[in-house]
Structure 1
């Protein structure tokens, strides 16, 4: 494999791993913790039916306003790719949001997402754009 292809493949693997760890953190410690951990300083979060959230401080404030629920958001990467430079890439996949009502009945919604990842100066991958949409109730 040529050196550029090696750099690109390494970036793809790292982005997949960052996306997986992002989802695991969301499942274990909640969406607010996950989104504020994996957002870049200049992150943009696209919001369904509302204006985007721009910048880390705005994202942190948005996450702090989220109701404290038992809802659990997880997702799975279906595709990842990266620039040959190895410093920018994306993931695309499916998400699942599950919650229980007061009677204990579980309901779930599902959708698709795309996340644009950028390697930070310290080498870590952080999202710079994240968004998705609901495709319906989970089957």
Structure 2
């Protein structure tokens, strides 16, 4: 593999790992912690059926309104890619949102997402754009 292709593949692997760690944090520590940890300062979060959330402070405010024992969001990367420069990339995959109602009955919703990742000055990957929509249960 030539050096440019190897560098691009390394970026793809890093983006995939960042996305997977983002999902693990969401499951174990909650959506608010995960989204505010992995978001860039200039983040845009697309909201299914609502206006987008623009900027880190707006995202933090949105996430702070989530209940402490609220829904659990997890996802699985199906595809990741990166620019030749290794500075920008995306992930695409399927998500699952599990909720309990007042009687502890569990409900599950499914969907797809896409996240655009940008390498930060310190070398870490943060998402700059995230969005998704609900779908029927995957087969």
TM-score of the aligned structures, taking structure 1 as reference length = 0.95
The number of residues matched between the two structures is 139
Q: Which residue of 2 aligns with 1:117?
A: 117
Change (3 A) 1:106 1:137: farther
Q: Which residue of 2 aligns with 1:23?
A: 23
> How far did residue 137 of structure 1 move?
5.4
Q: Which residue of 1 aligns with 2:92?
A: 92
Unaligned 5+ residue runs, structure 1?
Answer: none
TM-score of the aligned structures, taking structure 2 as reference length = 0.95
Q: Which residue of 1 aligns with 2:32?
A: 32
Whole-angstrom CA distance in 2 between matches of 1:70 and 1:110: 16
Conserved in 2, the CA contact under 8 Å of 1:117 and 1:128? Answer: yes
Unaligned 5+ residue runs, structure 2?
Answer: none
Whole-angstrom CA distance in 2 between matches of 1:117 and 1:138: 25
Task: For 1:1-139, list aligned pairs within 5 A.
Answer: 1-136=1-136
